[in-house]
Structure formats: C-alpha cells, structure tokens
C-alpha cells in the first residue's frame, strides 16, 4: 500500500512549531493529535507498516537522560513515516568533553536535522533548545516538568477503551511531585473535560497542585469507587532527595494497586501505568497482567501518538 497526503486529514489547523508540553495546547490541538493517531492506526493496520510521508526528513533523538522505551518508540515512529533518524546520547559524547548542551544541538542541526526529540533532566531544557534551533523540538520529558507524548498516549488509550474523555474521572496515583507524566496528564485531561484526582503520600503531592484544577486525595480506597481510570505513576527514586515515605512496603500498602483494590473499584476500571513499572510497588503482577490493565495498549499507542506529533511538526516545518 502506498499512502498519499490525501489519505491523511488533519481535523483542525496546526500552527505549533514545537511540542514542548500540553499546558499551552488547546483542546482542539490535543484532539487533532489524537484523531491523527487514530488515522495512523488505520493506515498501518494489516498492510505495510511503513509509510512514505516523511521521506527525506531527518529526526534527531537527543537524549541527555537514560531512556529505552521512549527513545525506541520515537525511533520506530519516525521510521514508519519514512524519516531518517539519528541517535545522540550524552554518555561518551562531546558533552563529556565540555561542549554545552546548546552547542551540541546546534552542531547536530548544522548536519541537516529537521526535528529534534529531546529528553533532559532539567525542566525547560527543550524550551532552551527551541529558542536556539530552527528545527522543530519535541519534548520527550524534561525533568519533573512535562512529558507530553506520554500523556497523549494515555489519553488515546482511554479514548479508545471508553469512547470518550469528557466526563470521566481519572486518578493519578503516586509521586505527583516528581512526575512529568502527572503534569502533562493534568493539563491534557482537564482540557478535554475529565475530572482529575491526584492521590499519593502528602510528601509527594504539592499542596499548590489544586490551583491547576485537580482534587487531592490521600486515601486511595476512598476514591476508587468513583474513578473510571487509574494511572499508577512510577515512584521516582532517582529524582527524590531523601526519603519521602517510610518504606516501599508502606507505600505499596497504602497506594499500591492490588487485587483487593481492583475488587473495590468500578467494574470497567482501566489501569494505566507509564513504564517502566516496579512490580510489587505501584501494582501487583495480578493487576499488571489482569483484564483491567491497558499497559501494553499504551505502548502501542505511544507509536501512533509519536507518529502524529512528528508528522504535524514536520509539515509545519515545510517538509
């Protein structure tokens, strides 16, 4: 099958040069990405998995922080659209020789890169790149700030499984303070009309989070009967300074998703988790591998979402 531009329709005009987060996107723009991801699912089902719409486009993965899943997902997404990819990781690079983050990006751009996918440990790092580069920049996670494509794939998964997002109640459980996934999900879900509850230990839920329009709960068992979806955030041991809760066992006891909690929840509860999951901490294997879990759907949808984002930004860049 050879697809043409005519096979792909964009539901609303797309004006963004970069995808740095969901906070500043409109509901229409978010819906545009989700709709396009659905189209890519149709286009790649059954037939050839490789499209040609981004032939000649070069996508650089600039990952300054360890990542396997997201980086692989972006790579496959770019190649499925016909783009060429180049990988750059900080370890063993010129960064270790003293070159700055911006200099590295400028150097790579000078090699003819059209889109840059950036992951960095510091909030705002992709924004810094966007100020310096002519290429489009996609934020693949900037510290504890945003991870827009992860939230988009979560929303796509919810929409595919439950048919809508508006009017649903979604609980984000765990380490809200250090979670870029939580922030992006909050912005996206609220814009699309969901009710969002954040739940976790008080040490990991900033008090001011309510100003974003979410509700705060500290007791998972109390809110479970109300929620349609629960998104179990990974405990970010690597981002924490000091201990935010007494023990892993206590965390799992209070906030881990297990069989007992599934039985207290709504029948059609969706269990989502941005990988990698700590089995036995955020959720038990029984839940991870059970009928409520949509974790593997999330992974598949990650490809579709990233294809949609790469496509939109490449077209905006005139590719």
**Which residues sit at the interface with another protein, rule CB under 8 A?**
23, 100-102, 120-125, 127-128, 142-146, 180, 183, 206, 208-209, 211-212, 241
Question: In whole angstroms, what separates CA 46 from the centre of its chain?
Answer: 26
Q: Minimum CB separation from another protein for residue 104, in Å?
A: 11
Rounded CA separation 20/2 (Å): 32
Q: Minimum CB separation from another protein for residue 74, in Å?
A: 21
Q: Minimum CB separation from another protein for residue 225, in Å?
A: 28
Q: How many CB atoms lie within 10 A of CB 53?
A: 22
Residue 49: strand, helix, or coil: coil
Q: Minimum CB separation from another protein for residue 41, in Å?
A: 31
∠ Cα 111 114 119 (to 5°): 95
Q: Minimum CB separation from another protein for residue 79, in Å?
A: 29
Whose Cβ is closer to another protein: residue 131's or residue 134's? 131
Whose Cβ is closer to another protein: residue 86's or residue 212's? 212
Question: What sign does the dihedral 81-83-86-90 (CA atoms) show?
Answer: negative
Residue 274: which of 153, 186, 176 has the closest Cα?
Answer: 153
Whose Cβ is closer to another protein: residue 123's or residue 290's? 123
Question: In whole angstroms, what separates CA 41 from the centre of its chain?
Answer: 18
Whose Cβ is closer to another protein: residue 105's or residue 113's? 105
Task: Tell me 214's DSSP state.
Answer: -
Question: In whole angstroms, what separates CA 249 from the centre of its chain?
Answer: 28
Whose Cβ is closer to another protein: residue 103's or residue 166's? 103
104's tokens = 């590295």
| Known binding-site positions for carbamoyl phosphate | 69-70, 119, 147, 150, 275-276
| Known binding-site positions | 69-70, 97, 119, 147, 150, 180, 234, 275-276
| Known binding-site positions for L-aspartate | 97, 180, 234
């Amino acid at each position: 099958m050879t697809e043409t531009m005519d096979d792909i329709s964009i539901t609303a005009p797309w004006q963004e040069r970069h995808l740095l987060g969901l906070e500043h996107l409109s509901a229409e723009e978010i819906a545009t990405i989700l709709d396009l991801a659905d189209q890519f699912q149709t286009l790649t089902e059954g037939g050839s998995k490789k499209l040609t719409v981004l032939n000649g486009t070069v996508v650089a993965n600039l990952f300054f922080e360890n990542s396997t899943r997201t980086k692989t997902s972006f790579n496959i997404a770019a190649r499925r659209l016909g783009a060429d990819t180049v990988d750059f990781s900080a370890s063993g690079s010129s960064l270790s020789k003293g070159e700055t983050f911006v200099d590295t990006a400028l150097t790579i751009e000078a090699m003819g890169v059209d889109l840059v996918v950036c992951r960095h440990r510091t909030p705002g790092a992709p924004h810094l790149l966007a100020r310096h580069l002519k290429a489009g920049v996609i934020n693949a996670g900037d510290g504890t700030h945003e991870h827009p494509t992860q939230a988009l794939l979560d929303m796509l998964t919810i929409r595919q499984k439950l048919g809508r997002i508006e009017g649903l109640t979604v609980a984000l459980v765990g380490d809200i303070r250090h979670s870029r996934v939580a922030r992006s999900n909050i912005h996206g879900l609220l814009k699309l009309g969901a009710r969002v509850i954040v739940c976790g230990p008080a040490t990991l839920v900033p008090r001011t989070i309510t100003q974003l329009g979410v509700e705060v709960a500290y007791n998972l068992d109390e809110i479970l009967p109300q929620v349609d979806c629960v998104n179990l955030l990974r405990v970010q041991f690597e981002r924490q300074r000091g201990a935010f809760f007494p023990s892993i066992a206590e965390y799992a006891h209070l906030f881990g998703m297990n069989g007992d909690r599934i039985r207290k929840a709504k029948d059609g509860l969706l269990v989502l988790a941005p990988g990698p999951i700590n089995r036995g901490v955020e959720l038990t294997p029984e839940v991870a591998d059970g009928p409520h879990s949509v974790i593997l759907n999330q992974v598949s949808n990650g490809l579709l979402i990233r294809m949609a984002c790469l496509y939109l930004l490449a077209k905006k860049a005139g590719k």
